[in-house]
Amino acid sequence: MTRLTRRHATELETISVTVPAEAVEAYEDALAVVCTTIGIFEMDDSQLFWRVEGVRDAGYGEVELTGALALAAAVTGHGATLDRTRTEAEGWLARTYESFPEQTVGQRFAVRGTHLDRSVSSRRITITLDAGVAFGSGEHGSTRGCLRALETVAHRRPRRILDMGCGSGILAMAAAALLHRPVLAIDIEPWSVRTTARNAELNGLGPLIDARLGNGWRTPGLSRRAPFDLVFANILARPLCLMAQDLALHLAPGGTAILAGLLNSQAGMVLAAHRRQGLVLERRLNEGDWTTLVLRKASSPA
Q: Is position 187 annotated in a ligand binding site?
A: yes
Q: Is 289 assigned a ligand-binding role in the annotation?
A: no
Query: Cα–Cα distances in Å, from 197 out to 133, 205, 248?
Result: 13, 9, 27
Distance CA 271, CA 275 (A): 6
**Under the phi-then-psi rule, with left for phi > 0, alpha for psi from -120 to 50, and beta for the rest, what region is 167?**
left
For residue 245, how many other CB atoms are within 10 A of its CB? 14
Backbone CA torsion sign across 94, 95, 97, 101: positive
Is 143 part of any known ligand binding site?
yes
Ramachandran category for residue 153: left, alpha or beta (phi over 0 → left; psi -120 to 50 → alpha) = alpha
Q: What's the distance, Cα to Cα, between the start and end of the chain in Å?
A: 47
Buried-exposed string 12-34: b where 16+ CB fall within 10 A, e elsewhere: bbbbbbbbebbbbbbbbbbbbbb
> Helix, strand, coil % (nearest 5) of the chain?
35, 30, 30
What SS3 state is found at 176? helix
* 81 is annotated as contributing to ligand binding: no
Known binding-site residues equal: 143, 165, 187, 234
Known binding-site residues for S-adenosyl-L-methionine equal: 143, 165, 187, 234
